[in-house]
Amino acid sequence: MIKVFCTKKITDLLPEKPKKFEGETDPLNRWMINLIKIDRKNVILGICTETRFGFLLWNVTKRQYAKLDEVITKAIRDTLTSYGFKPELIDKYVSENVELCTGASRTDAARISSIGRDFQSVRILRKPDNMLDISFVRSLNRHLYNSENGYGYPIVSMIEKFREQYGEDPIKQRAFVLETELDLERYAAKRTIIVPAGYTFCQLHRILQETMDWSNAHLYEFELSDELVISDDEDEYDDREIASASENRLEDVLDKGDEFLYRYDFGDNWEVTVRVSDIIDDHNKPWASLSLCEGAAPPEDVGGVYGYLDFLDAYNDPDNPEHDDVIEWVGYRWKPEPNIRGIANRIEHI
């Protein structure tokens, strides 16, 4: 059984104080929860003290505190599921409701306090979609930590411990192979990405932003058909009905062979064609990955395709009267070749 050690901040909110646990338990079954503030909001931080893998729970109500063992059990299961852990292994690991207790070691208490301090300085740019917002969870579990064994990531540590515990690769999920292309007249910026099928279109938007080295500074939309447009932008810029990018998952909409448009920045009007070239049924990674990256994408606010062509002419020709101005304007925001390693690393964090 998983033991979840509660800090005093948590126990003060419970209708009944948990009992102190002083026995031995498998390190992988030791979790701890604490109440922290992120951007002045109360959030429950939960971590497996062995791996630092965990979750964040927003807006927990008084009624939910009354059955916090069930809430935490579901949070652990849902977090593992969101990364593609095999259902049968999750059932083995979380075979029953967790047991809330007190009596955490000083090491564990210091560990969760340190993680909490790191996240208390974060300023959130949007409201969480629900109590367990997976995008915030992914940020937590790709937070680099230092230990006696060196640096690591919580999600990587959790995968390794599951592999040791159960003797098999713990991740198996469906994934889409997406080929993207941005036609820039003289060449095309092409990317191939492998994206877990359970990702939302909001996550796909963030991935596409990273593959193009864009900064998410403008409106966007996915046009699946004349009837289906998906976006998270609240501004109504035409009469079409917009489905939520945060609520719609790729697996609920896409199939092999589908082709659709990703539009970004309705001023420059970038149109990226996205095609589902294949579906992988046994993808063993918990995040998106990059398998092809050809051609630099244009910098933000360059003025569309023809503005970009003018930019390239000036950038590449030292004798062009606008060369120095263009170099100064773009600065370090753009390079003539994409940073493939940087892109691959960044999309793994989404």
pLDDT of 321 over the 90 cut? yes
- Closest among 53, 91, 67, 73 to 2, alpha carbons compared: 73
Give 270-313 pLDDT, tens digit per residue. Answer: 999 999 999 999 999 999 999 999 999 999 999 999 999 999 99
266 in the same domain as 139:
no
Q: Do 183 and 120 fall into the same domain? A: no
pLDDT interval class at 142 (50, 70, 90): confident
Q: Which two tokens stand for residue 107?
A: 């090491």
Is the domain of 64 the same as that of 157?
yes
Q: What angle do CA 319, 324, 328 make, to 5 degrees?
A: 155
Q: What is the pLDDT of residue 93?
A: 97
322 in the same domain as 197: yes
Final residue of a structural domain among 166, 182, 211 = 166
Rounded to the nearest integer, the mean pLDDT of the chain is: 92
Q: Which two tokens stand for residue 304?
A: 């569309």
Taking the CA of residue 265 as centre, how many other CA atoms within 13 Å lie in the half-sphere pointing to its CB?
A: 19
Instruction: Residue 72: give its domain's CATH number.
Output: 3.30.420
In this structure, the answer to whether residues 217 and 156 fall within a common structural domain is: no
Radius of gyration of the chain (CA): 23
User: Structurally, how many domains does the chain consist of?
Assistant: 2
Alpha carbons 49 and 145: distance in angstroms, whole number: 12
pLDDT for the residue numbered 216: 92
Q: pTM surpassing 0.75?
A: yes
Domain co-membership, 36 together with 181: no
- Write the pLDDT tens digit of every residue in 45-60: 999 999 999 999 999 9
Specify whether 157 is located in the same domain as 188.
Answer: no
Question: CATH number, domain at 336?
Answer: 3.10.290.30
Looking at the structure, do residues 162 and 178 belong to the same domain, yes or no?
no
Q: Check residue 126 and give its pLDDT.
A: 65
Q: Name the residue among 46, 44, 31, 33 with its Cα closest to residue 1.
A: 31
Q: Among the three residues 133, 149, 166, which one is the final residue of a domain in this structure?
A: 166
- Per DSSP, the residues of 135-180 read HHHHHHHT--EEETTEEE-HHHHHHHHHHHHHSS--B-EEEEEEEE
Quote the percentage of the chain above a pLDDT of 90.
77
Largest CA distance in the chain: 77
Looking at the predicted structure, is the pLDDT value of residue 223 above 80?
yes
88 and 17 within one domain: yes
pLDDT of 122 reads 62
Q: Which of 57-71, 133-147, 228-242 has the highest mean pLDDT?
A: 57-71
- CB 276 within 8 Å of CB 259: yes
Regarding whether 231 and 340 lie in a shared domain, the answer is yes
Residues 179 and 242 both lie in one domain: yes
**pLDDT for residue 237:** 54
Structural domain span for residue 235: 173-347
DSSP letter, residue 243: E
Clarify whether residues 161 and 39 are in a common domain: yes
Question: What is the C-alpha end-to-end distance of the chain, expressed in Å?
Answer: 31
* Residue after which a domain boundary falls, among 166, 199, 229: 166
